[in-house]
C-alpha cells in the first residue's frame, strides 16, 4: 500500500512517497510519528480528502508554513488536490526533473493563492496561459526550453496556436513526450479537421484514435502517406481499427484516406484506369437505365392518360344520346361483389349500363364517324370492361393503337381479324391488354375470383355488334399457359368443334352447369397474365339474338 509522508521543516512542507513503512501505525492506516512528520496512505487520502486537507491546514497554520515541496512526480496530482484546499500556501516547488503536463497545469490553474511556482520545465503554450490568467511568479530550472518533436513539427508554441490548429502532421514515431503532448493538444484544440501521417506506426494510430474518441472529436480526416510506409501494414491496421471502433468512428465521422505515391500510381496506372473505366461504364449504365425507366414510366403514364381521355369522351357520347333519346327498360345496375384477398379490386360500386342497348344504331352511327373499324360494344358487369370493339385486317394493328388509331402501347379491345360480325363464327374472339391500371382487359382477372363468378348477375355478358343486340352466358373461366388451342374461329366438322367445346369446358375452374352443344355460338375473351407466360380466358355462349 502506497503511503505519503508529510514533513514540516520550519516554514516548508515536504511531501514524498514513503520508501519504508515505519513500525508505528495509527488508526485508519495512518502513521504519525510527530507533528512534523505525518504519514497517510494513498487510499485513506482518496477516501478522506477533505478531512486530510482540513487536518493539514490546521498544522500548516500553526507552524506558519508557506511553502510546499513535492518530491515525486506520480503524486503531484493527488497532492495538489490537498494543497488547493490550504489557502495559506503561497509557494509550490515541483522537484522532479520532468515538465509540467496538461493535467498538472489545470490543477495549478485552479489554485487561487499561489504566488510562486518552481518547476523543471513547462511548455510555452501552458506558460502563456498561466501568465494570462494568474499573477504568478514562475521559475523554470531547465537550461533548454523543452518541446517534443510533435509540438516542434507543428509549430505549437503558443496556446492559441494549439487551440486553433486545423491540420497537423505526424512525421516521426511518438516518444513518451510526444504521447503526452499529443494528449495535451487534443484536450486544448477545438478546430482540428485533418491529421496527416507521414510516418505510419500502428500503436501511434491506435493512440491517436483513442484520444480523438475520448475527447469526442468529430469530422476528422486521417490521411496516411503510402510513400516510405508498408502498404499492407496500413491496410491491415485500418481494417483492424475499423472493426474495433466501427460504431464510434461512424458516429464521430472519423475517416481514413491513403495517399498513394507517384511511383505507386505509375505502377498501378493501367489497373486504376481499368477500374475507373469500369466505374464510369457502370455509372453510365445505371444512369441510362434510370433515364430509360423514367422515360418509360412517363410514356406509360401519358398513354394511359390518353386512354382515360378517350374513355371519358365515349361516356360523353353515351350521355348525350341518353339526353336526346328517352329510353326505358334498361338493364338494372348490379351490386359489386367483393373479391377474395388474392385479387385486388378497384372498380366502382356500380357498373354503368348504357342506353345504346336499345339505341345501338344511334351509338354506332356516332362511333363509326370516329373509327370506321368499330364492330361492336362489350360490357362485363362489375369490371371496368365497357368498351367499343374494333377489328383490323390483322391482329397486330390494335395491339399498339388506341380507339382513335393513334400509336399507344396500351392498345385497344379488338376482335380477331378472322371473325365476321355479319354471320357469327362458331368462336368469336376478343383480345385486350392486361393493364395494371385497370384499363382495357386489366380487370378481366376479377373473373377468376369465386365471389365474382358465382354471382349470377355477373355470368351474363353483353356484346352488341352493328347488326345485333346479344347476351352471352359464361360457360368457362380459366388460366392456361401460353397456347393457341382456344383461338380457332371456325371448325370444319362437328367432331373438331365438339373436341374444342370439351376442351374449354374441361379447363374451367368452376362448373357453370350450362348445356353446350355444337349448335351454340361461342364468345371468347383473352388477355395475357403473369408477364405473358399465361393467359386468362373466358368463354360464353350466345343466349339472346
Just list the catalytic residues.
528
Sole residue written with cell 498561466: 130
Q: 47 is written with which cell numbers?
A: 477516501
Cβ contact 379:386 at 8 Å: yes
- Contacts of residue 119, defined as CB under 8 A and 6 or more positions apart, other chains included, come to 94, 99, 100, 138, 139, 140, 141
Number of other residues whose CB lies within 10 A of the CB of residue 542 = 17
Please tell me the distance from the alpha carbon of residue 65 to that of residue 11, in angstroms, as a whole number: 4
Q: What single string gives the DSSP state of each residue in 273-308?
A: HHHHHHHHHHHHHHHHHHHHHHHHHHHHHHHHHHHH
Please tell me the distance from the alpha carbon of residue 80 to that of residue 67, in angstroms, as a whole number: 13
- CA end-to-end span of the chain: 114
Query: How far is residue 513 CA from its own chain's centroid?
Result: 56
Cβ contact 497:516 at 8 Å: no
Q: Is 370 helix (H, G, I), strand (E, B) or coil?
A: helix
Please tell me the distance from the alpha carbon of residue 40 to that of residue 38, in angstroms, as a whole number: 7
Q: 136, 104, 143, 151: which is closest to 121 by C-alpha?
A: 143
- Contacts of residue 264, defined as CB under 8 A and 6 or more positions apart, other chains included, come to 226, 227, 231
Label residues 271-290 b or e (16+ Cβ within 10 Å = b). Answer: eeeeeeeeeeeeeeeeeeee
Cα 137–Cα 102–Cα 77 angle in degrees, nearest 5: 80
Amino acid at each position: 500500500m502506497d503511503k505519503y509522508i508529510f514533513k514540516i521543516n520550519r516554514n516548508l512542507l515536504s511531501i514524498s512517497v514513503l520508501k519504508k513503512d515505519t513500525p508505528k501505525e495509527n488508526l485508519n492506516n495512518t502513521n504519525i510519528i510527530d507533528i512534523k512528520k505525518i504519514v497517510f496512505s494513498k487510499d485513506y487520502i482518496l477516501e478522506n480528502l477533505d478531512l486530510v486537507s482540513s487536518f493539514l491546514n490546521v498544522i500548516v497554520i500553526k507552524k506558519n508554513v508557506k511553502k510546499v515541496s513535492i518530491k515525486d512526480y506520480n503524486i503531484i496530482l493527488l497532492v495538489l488536490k490537498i494543497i488547493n484546499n490550504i489557502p495559506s500556501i503561497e509557494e509550490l516547488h515541483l522537484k522532479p526533473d520532468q515538465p509540467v503536463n496538461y493535467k498538472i497545469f489545470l490543477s495549478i490553474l485552479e489554485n487561487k493563492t499561489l504566488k510562486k511556482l518552481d518547476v523543471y520545465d513547462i511548455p510555452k503554450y501552458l506558460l502563456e496561459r498561466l501568465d494570462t490568467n494568474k499573477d504568478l511568479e514562475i521559475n523554470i530550472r531547465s537550461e533548454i526550453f523543452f518541446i517534443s518533436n510533435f509540438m516542434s513539427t507543428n509549430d505549437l508554441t503558443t496556446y492559441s496556436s494549439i487551440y486553433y490548429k486545423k491540420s497537423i502532421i505526424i512525421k516521426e514515431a511518438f516518444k513518451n513526450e510526444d504521447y503526452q503532448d499529443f494528449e495535451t493538444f487534443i484536450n486544448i484544440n477545438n478546430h482540428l479537421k485533418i491529421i496527416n501521417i507521414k510516418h505510419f506506426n500502428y500503436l501511434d494510430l491506435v493512440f491517436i484514435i483513442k484520444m480523438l474518441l475520448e475527447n469526442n472529436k468529430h469530422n476528422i480526416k486521417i490521411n496516411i502517406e503510402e510513400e516510405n510506409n508498408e502498404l499492407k501494414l496500413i491496410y491491415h491496421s485500418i481494417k483492424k481499427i475499423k472493426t474495433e471502433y466501427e460504431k464510434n468512428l461512424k458516429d464521430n465521422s472519423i475517416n481514413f484516406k491513403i495517399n498513394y505515391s507517384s511511383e505507386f500510381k505509375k505502377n498501378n496506372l493501367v489497373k486504376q484506369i481499368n477500374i475507373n473505366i469500369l466505374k464510369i461504364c457502370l455509372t453510365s449504365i445505371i444512369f441510362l437505365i434510370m433515364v430509360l425507366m423514367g422515360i418509360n414510366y412517363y410514356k406509360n403514364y401519358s398513354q394511359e392518360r390518353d386512354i382515360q381521355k378517350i374513355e371519358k369522351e365515349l361516356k360523353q357520347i353515351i350521355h348525350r344520346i341518353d339526353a336526346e333519346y328517352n329510353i326505358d327498360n334498361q338493364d338494372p345496375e348490379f351490386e359489386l361483389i367483393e373479391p377474395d384477398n388474392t385479387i385486388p379490386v378497384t372498380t366502382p360500386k356500380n357498373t354503368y349500363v348504357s342506353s345504346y342497348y336499345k339505341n345501338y344504331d344511334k351509338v354506332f352511327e356516332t362511333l363509326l364517324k370516329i373509327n370506321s373499324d368499330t364492330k361492336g360494344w362489350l360490357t362485363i358487369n362489375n369490371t371496368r370492361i365497357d368498351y367499343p370493339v374494333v377489328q383490323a385486317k390483322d391482329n397486330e394493328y390494335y395491339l399498339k393503337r388506341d380507339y382513335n388509331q393513334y400509336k399507344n402501347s396500351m392498345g385497344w379491345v379488338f376482335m380477331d381479324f378472322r371473325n365476321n360480325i355479319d354471320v357469327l363464327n362458331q368462336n368469336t374472339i376478343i383480345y385486350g391488354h392486361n393493364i395494371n391500371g385497370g384499363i382495357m382487359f386489366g380487370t378481366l382477372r376479377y373473373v377468376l375470383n369465386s365471389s365474382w363468378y358465382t354471382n349470377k348477375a355477373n355470368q351474363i355478358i353483353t356484346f352488341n355488334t352493328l347488326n345485333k343486340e346479344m347476351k352471352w352466358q359464361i360457360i368457362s373461366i380459366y388460366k392456361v399457359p401460353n397456347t393457341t388451342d382456344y383461338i380457332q374461329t371456325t371448325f370444319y366438322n362437328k367432331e373438331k368443334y365438339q373436341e374444342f367445346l370439351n376442351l374449354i369446358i374441361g379447363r374451367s375452374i368452376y362448373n357453370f352447369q350450362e348445356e353446350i352443344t355444337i349448335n351454340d355460338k361461342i364468345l371468347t375473351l383473352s388477355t395475357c397474365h403473369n408477364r405473358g407466360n399465361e393467359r386468362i380466358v373466358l368463354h360464353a355462349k350466345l343466349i339472346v339474338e
